[in-house]
Amino acid sequence: MANSEGVSGVDSFVLYGEETAYNTEQATVETHLGLIKSFTPKITNNNAYTRGFVGTTSGGRNVAKVIPGTVDHDISVDMEVINWAFLEYVLGSVAGSDPYTYSEDNTPPSLTIHRCIDNPGTASTDQDSIWTGCVIESCTIKASVGEPVTVSLTMKGAHRELDTTILSKQALGTIPGFSFAGGSIELPNASAMSNIIDSVELTITNDFDMRKGLGSRETQNALARARDYKIKFTVAYLDNDLLTAVQGAAIPTGTTNPTEYVTIELNFAQGVYTAAFLFTTFVFDEMSGKENVNEIIGEDLSGTAFSLAVTETRS
């Protein structure tokens, strides 16, 4: 029989379930993260290779012994949005039911993740990789003119094991297909920017400390540390308002500070589906000009917000 290799997304799928306690496998795993485009798992053994003075059977330049270090499990996911439910595991909390409100919590829930490969050649070699204690380290949401809204997640896990019996496939559900056409930036909230916006990028970082301890190579707990909200966007030059905000004044002095906005809101909409990202306190960090002969004058801006709550509607 000829070899029959598996094709990503045709013979494989990814599902998750929320854990009731950190690194305790969730038995019910039947939810899609999103419309996944790529899934990249990684194992790092952090081996230490030791050398020493020459002996009778080894040279001093060669490895004499390998000492396995702590083991790290990392997962990268690129996807489009089915719904914004994954934000509960980025921010930490969810309340309500259509509309849903995702808000901050100091301890985001952990996940059990299954990546199943339905081997098209030999069923006995099906693969179900099971990660427990998974937390979302960072989330980047991007929207550019003419493209769908995309999400990139990086995750850290505590444990991975292998099974050869895969889960049942689950329906994807309604896919709204968010695009840049339904996006807007309000700075401050309720005051839409007049500039033509070419792209926007939001990155949320949780900075998890994957705690290791004596007696085990694996992670024993995940502690979320400093949280960051970084917003970047590219606009067509319109007036001097943004430059003035970055400088703090048209003619700044040595003690002039950049403008501190009370709020900034990033909106996505597609039909009845909406998601409003409302940030409190926003300050520009950087601004750079984009000028090429015979092209529209552009401005690249980036800044930091203090806190975030997201409201999602699905009907």
Q: Do the domain assignments include residue 134? A: yes
Give the tens place of pLDDT for each residue, 84-104. Answer: 999 999 999 999 999 999 999
Q: How far is CA 278 from the centre of its chain?
A: 18
Q: What is the pLDDT of residue 129?
A: 97
Average per-residue pLDDT for the chain: 94
- What number of CA atoms fall less than 13 Å from residue 128's CA on the CB side? 17
Q: What is the pLDDT of residue 123?
A: 65
Give the tens place of pLDDT for each residue, 3-60. Answer: 568 899 999 999 999 999 999 999 999 999 999 999 999 999 999 999 999 887 777 8
Q: What is the pLDDT of residue 2?
A: 52
Give the tens place of pLDDT for each residue, 273-303. Answer: 999 999 999 999 999 999 999 999 999 999 9
Neighbours of 73 (CB within 10 A): 23
Q: What is the pLDDT of residue 1?
A: 45
Nearest to 277 by CA among 195, 185, 191, 198: 185
Task: Tell me how far apart the alpha carbons of residues 81 and 150 are, in angstroms, rounded to a whole number.
Answer: 7
Q: How confident is the model at residue 206 (pLDDT cuts 50, 70, 90)?
A: very high
Q: What is the pLDDT of residue 75?
A: 98
Q: Do the domain assignments include residue 292? A: yes
User: Which range of residues forms the domain containing residue 159?
Assistant: 12-44+67-313
Nearest to 156 by CA among 137, 143, 180: 137
Q: Do the domain assignments include residue 269? A: yes
Give the tens place of pLDDT for each residue, 105-137. Answer: 999 999 999 999 998 877 668 999 999 999 999
* Global confidence as pTM: 0.94
Compute, in degrees rounded to 10, the torsion defined by CA atoms 305, 310, 311, 312.
130
Q: Do the domain assignments include residue 49? A: no
Neighbours of 310 (CB within 10 A): 22
Structurally, the chain folds into a number of domains equal to 1
Q: What is the pLDDT of residue 3?
A: 59
Q: Do the domain assignments include residue 175? A: yes
Amino acid in position 275: A
Amino acid in position 286: E
Q: Is 21 exposed, middle or buried (0-12, 13-18, 19+ CB in 10 A)?
A: exposed
Q: Do the domain assignments include residue 110? A: yes
Average pLDDT over residues 243-260: 96
Task: Tell me how far apart the alpha carbons of residues 95 and 103 are, in angstroms, rounded to a whole number.
Answer: 8
